[in-house]
Structure 1
Amino acid sequence: MRNLPAFTLAGYDKGRGKLVQALWFAVMNTVFMAWFCPAGLRVALLRAFGAKIGDGVLIRHRVRILWPWKLTVGDHTWIGEGAWLLNLEPVTIGAHVCLSQEAMLCTGSHDHRAADFRYRNAPITVADGAWIAARATVLAGVSVGSQSVVAAGTVLHKDLPDLTLHTADGRRPVQEPV
């Protein structure tokens, strides 16, 4: 039986103090996610809070990022409107990656076998050239291979090799462009 009141944050490191966390939440919810915030300012704000962001990165509005200091993004990557990076642990996104609208990268989970429902978090890596399509979800501890595709609306719970398409009905090689 679950004993949810026994849950604690023991062993979890948010990476910054409460003041920085509160400041980030204020900035994220008032400026960063707003439609009127220029994409370049979003990148600058993330860098100011410790994210490592490459050149030519485009971040659309309504993007939520839990902890910028646990985020690395390569050059010329796009993060689409409404994407959610629930990065309790590090998220590393390569170059020329497309995270489409409302895609979710979730590094957090719980140990369903433990009565206290303790955290069971793990980092996520998305390699160069990958595409996480609209409303796709990548779960904790998963690596997405180079040039791979996580199809729209699917959930990826284990590593995806390079050049592989993950769909609701299985995996197959990504076809070369015509």
Structure 2
Amino acid sequence: MSEPLDASEHGTLRGGPSFSLANRLERLCFTIVWRGLAWLAPPPFGWGWRRQLLRLFRARIASGAKIYPTAKIWLPRHLEMAEWSTLGQGVECYNMAPICIGAGAIVSQRAFLCAGDHDHRDASHQLVTKPVTIGPKAWVAAEAFIGPGVAIGDGAVVGARACVTRDIPAGTIWTGNPAQQVGHRQEQE
């Protein structure tokens, strides 16, 4: 596990809230804006609109990225999406730490990207955060879980409802809980 969060950004850690008041207000404001405005233009017409909403809250979203209005993003400034990447319907992007989604990568419906956990060895269960990276042209299928600190390699596939808690090499296919490698992806042009 990584070190506990730095109190300067996230508030008091021992015995107090894990995140500062400013952090909590930022998330509240975004949630209100997202829930109220992300629906104004349905897919496919609203891609640009939702990119702009996320950029207002300091997300780094490339042109061509697709974000569905039902995607749930915990902290926009910790989200980076490259060209033609996709966050599908109902995706939970629990980005307490940065989550980066590479060019052409797809995160399918109701997948869960989780960049935070609690240290079970610590009596107070301190919050620990680790970034998540989804490589270019990777595919995280429906309802898969990607845990803190995981990197999904370029072109890799994580099958539906798989549970991934360690790095996945490029070009491989993984399924199950816990996820196990079941094959290699054919080269794509």
**Do the structures match in fold with TM over 0.5?**
yes
Structure 1 distance, partners of 2:110, 2:81, is 17
Report whether the alignment pairs 1:24 with 2:30: yes
Indicate which of 98, 103, 111 corresponds to 1:103: 111
Gaps of 5+ in 2: 1-13
**Could you state the TM-score of these two structures normalised by the residue count of structure 2?**
0.82
Structure 2 distance, partners of 1:162, 1:24, is 34
Structure 2 distance, partners of 1:17, 1:153, is 31
SS of alignment partner, residue 93 of structure 2: strand
Partner AA of 1:22 in structure 2? L
* Equivalent in the alignment of 1:174: 185
RMSD: 2.1
Structure 2 distance, partners of 1:90, 1:30, is 24
Structure 1 distance, partners of 2:142, 2:40, is 19
Structure 1 distance, partners of 2:57, 2:167, is 29
Cα distance, 1:174 vs. partner?
A: 1.6
Structure 2 distance, partners of 1:42, 1:7, is 37
Change in CA separation of 1:13 and 1:52 when aligned onto 2, cut-off 3 Å? farther
Indicate which of 70, 74, 97 corresponds to 1:62: 70
Structure 2 distance, partners of 1:44, 1:35, is 13
* Equivalent in the alignment of 1:44: 52
Please list the CA deviations of residues 81-109 of structure 1 after superposition, one character each: whole Å capped at 9, or x if unmatched.
Answer: 10110000000111000110101100010
The structure whose RCO (Cα within 8 Å, separation 6+) is larger is: 1
Report whether the alignment pairs 1:124 with 2:132: yes
Partner AA of 2:129 in structure 1? N
Q: Provide the identity percentage.
A: 31
Cα distance, 1:7 vs. partner?
A: 4.8
Report whether the alignment pairs 1:112 with 2:120: yes
Please list the CA deviations of residues 15-56 of structure 1 after superposition, one character each: whole Å capped at 9, or x if unmatched.
Answer: x54543331121122222x37552221110001110111111
CA contact (8 A) 2:27 2:74 kept: no
Partner AA of 1:173 in structure 2? H
CA contact (8 A) 2:67 2:88 kept: yes
CA contact (8 A) 1:8 1:118 kept: no
Cα distance, 1:9 vs. partner?
A: 3.9
Report whether the alignment pairs 1:74 with 2:82: yes
CA contact (8 A) 2:69 2:89 kept: yes
Gaps of 5+ in 1: 1-5
Please list the CA deviations of residues 58-78 of structure 1 after superposition, one character each: whole Å capped at 9, or x if unmatched.
Answer: 111210000000111000112
**Could you state the TM-score of these two structures normalised by the residue count of structure 1?**
0.87
Q: How many residues align?
A: 170
